[in-house]
Amino acid sequence: MTAPTLTARPTRSKLFDGLTRYVPIGATIGLLAALYLGGVANYPNFDNPQVVAKLFIDNAPLLVVAVGMTFVILSGGIDLSVGSVMAFATMACAWLTVDAGVAAPLATVLVLAFGTAWGLLVGAVIHYFHVQPFIATLVGLFLFRGLTLQISATDVSMREIGFFQWGMTHVDFGEVRDGGFWLPYLSFVAFAVVAVAFVVLHYTRFGRGVYAVGGSETSALLMGLPVARTKIGVYAISGCCAALAGVLAAFATKSANPLANVGTELDAIAAVVIGGTLLTGGAGFVLGTVAGVMVWGMLNTLIAFQGNLSSWWARIVMGALLLAFILLQRVLARSGEKRRT
């Protein structure tokens, strides 16, 4: 009579653990829905589809950065350099095309290659020299911000470069006044990045390795997984995404500001955590990151509609939400530990 009981308990525990994985992302989606419904209830024209579309226009670069950050955090790391790499990529595009006379498509490829190479380098330093990710990527935060200011201490315009008109060229989905909306090409680039990341994380060996390394690097080594390749790979992805976000920012603004994107790395980390990814690694979803970025965008949209609030309120609320989601993660983790013991 004891045998059925012994087999039933692990089954129930596994089922409960599986369900708790979806609690944070469920809370994020519920929060996003509540914010949207609150906006609809309080502000005229908030239900216009272009309001939602604008979230994917204004936050396309942040979404790309946050996708790269998702890989890093899932592996148990952190990347503080992405905001500076993004600013450097935008400034490098401006310098290469305006001052050096490099063709804009080639400049874009060079910038993306540089961002990927930086990620490979910092990933190798973290793995082979056992440097803490916080310290290794903090180097990049200062280094690339300084290099950006060395290129130019003032804004550089790219409005004369025809290639950078492409990003804001848009696709119309009906007339806006009749309930339609429009999206620029740069938003579709961000969608493509999300789609590729989703497939890689959930349907490839590399993606399964990212989750395994984040869950327990020691266990991943014992299972024979390529830990070094995985850890270096996630930072290469993050560097490439940061550089791509810089290119998208060039498309959106047609200019480069050396002081742009200060704090973007923190926005990305907050969006990933609020999207349900564990800060300790091993659990999370790239679609949850999308929801986390949309929460950030929705907060800014609500403040814009209110009209009499400082934009800093979005950061205040985001900080409170981040604390709440971290506490939720800890509560779920402790409850899981108690059931297993």
Residue 16, domain member (yes or no): no
Q: What is the CATH number of the domain that holds 232?
A: 1.10.3470
pLDDT confidence tier of residue 103, bands split at 50, 70 and 90:
very high
Residue 112, domain member (yes or no): yes
- CA 61 to chain centroid: 9
Residue 261, domain member (yes or no): yes
Residue 259, domain member (yes or no): yes
Asked if residue 336 has pLDDT above 70, the reply is: no
- What percentage of the chain has pLDDT greater than the value 90? 58
Burial of 9 (0-12, 13-18, 19+ CB in 10 A): exposed
Residue 64, domain member (yes or no): yes
Asked if residue 20 has pLDDT above 80, the reply is: no
Q: Please say whether the beta carbons of 82 and 147 come within 8 A.
A: no
Structure tokens at 26: 């469920």
Residue 158, domain member (yes or no): yes
171 three-state secondary structure: strand
Asked if residue 273 has pLDDT above 50, the reply is: yes
Of 33-37, 215-219, 312-316, 329-333, give the lowest mean pLDDT range: 329-333
Structure tokens at 264: 């973007």
Domain hosting residue 140, numbered range: 28-36+44-340
Asked if residue 5 has pLDDT above 60, the reply is: no
The total number of structural domains that make up the chain: 1
Q: Check residue 98 and give its pLDDT.
A: 87
Mean pLDDT on 93-106: 90
Asked if residue 307 has pLDDT above 90, the reply is: no
Residue 171, beta-bridge partner list: 183
Residue 137, domain member (yes or no): yes
Residue 8, domain member (yes or no): no
| Alpha helices in the chain, H assignment, sequence order | 2-20, 23-42, 49-58, 60-74, 82-94, 104-128, 133-151, 185-203, 205-215, 217-222, 227-253, 264-274, 286-306, 312-340
d(CA 141, CA 248): 20
d(CA 239, CA 114): 8
pTM summary value? 0.90
Angle CA 14–275–263, to nearest 5: 145
Q: Check residue 338 and give its pLDDT.
A: 63
Of 89-98, 181-190, 234-243, 278-287, give the lowest mean pLDDT range: 278-287
Asked if residue 327 has pLDDT above 50, the reply is: yes
- What percentage of the chain has pLDDT greater than the value 70? 91
Asked if residue 1 has pLDDT above 70, the reply is: no
